[in-house]
Amino acid sequence: MFNSVHEFVDFWIKSGRPISPPFENPVFTTDIAYSLVLFRKDNCQVELYTCKPNTQAPWHGHPNVDSFFIYLGGNIDFGQPDGTFAQTAHLQQAREDGSHILLGQTAEALDGARHTLKVGPEGGAFLSFEKWNEKIPTSVTINWEGDPVGEEHKSALSSAA
């Protein structure tokens, strides 16, 4: 068992970033995003999220889950628990190696803190590292507190209840 989401992130990176989607519950979809559980161990997991262009999630939380997000690409602006945005959507620049200038930037929502994201015209992708404090990990897509992102998400939440 991991004591913190940061401990899990360090473990996953030091282990060579393993990818081993679980047999049960690996893929989740909503009206605005797709997720794939890349790796699950004990009380933690990492999900890859790909987000549809020009979408926004309502402010929401994931009860009893500590989350740590790492930006991968596209046009995403993470809303912080204090209600502000990181204002990263305008930073659409490449590094010398061709990767996005924001690759590896992080945000976090500890103890189920409320957060959101806005996705621009390119869509976007990020990793969600999660430490589940009470339940067995499934997906934060269905461990959701707040308004759903749309009808497909509402249906998934009803099925999970």
- Is this model's pTM higher than 0.95 or not? no
The predicted-structure confidence for 61-104, as pLDDT tens digits, reads as follows: 999 999 988 888 888 888 777 777 665 555 566 667 755 555 55
For residues 135-155, average pLDDT: 93
Whole-number Cα distances in Å, 53 to 5, 74, 137, 142: 28, 9, 27, 21
C-alpha–C-alpha distance, residues 53 and 55, integer Å:
6
Q: What was the pLDDT predicted at 112? A: 80
The predicted-structure confidence for 5-29, as pLDDT tens digits, reads as follows: 999 999 999 999 999 999 988 999 9
Q: Which residues of 112-142 are buried (b: 16+ CB within 10 A; e: fewer)?
A: bebbbbbbbeebbbbbbbbbbeeeebbbbbb
Full set of structural domains in the chain with CATH: 5-90+97-160 (2.60.120.10)
Number of alpha carbons in the 13 Å side-chain half-sphere of residue 36: 7
